Amino acid sequence: MKNYYKILGSTVPLLFPMLVLAQGDVQAFLSSIIGVLNQVVPLLIAIAGVVFLWGVVLFVMGAGDEEKRKTGRNLIIYGLIGLAVMISFWGLVNILLATFGTGSRAIPTIPSIPPPR
């Protein structure tokens, strides 16, 4: 835990120049963070979906083994909790952006797989 505080204490001051506009525009900084988050969030949702589906597979395939069923049940629960938390936060952020008028009015696009050729 002490190492965590050392790392946090040494990296947070590095962000201060950015926060007081000494090295760049805050809007550009926030836009770059939003761009990264827009790419990471669908990946995290996909990982939670895979965890859920893997839990279903383990639950069904381990019909005779109670330990496999328990592992599958836990993965199903963790996957559902992960999906619910991420989608809830995504919705809350969009509600706040729409409320304060800082977000776009466009409907967010949902990632999709292109059709086969």
| Confidence label for 81 from pLDDT (cuts 50, 70 and 90) | very high
Kindly tell me if the per-residue pLDDT of 70 is higher than 70.
yes
pLDDT, greater one: 67 or 40: 67
Report the alpha-carbon distance of residue 23 to residue 30 in Å, rounded.
14
Q: Give this prediction's pTM.
A: 0.58
Q: Compute CA distances 10 → 3, 18, 19, whole Å.
A: 11, 15, 16
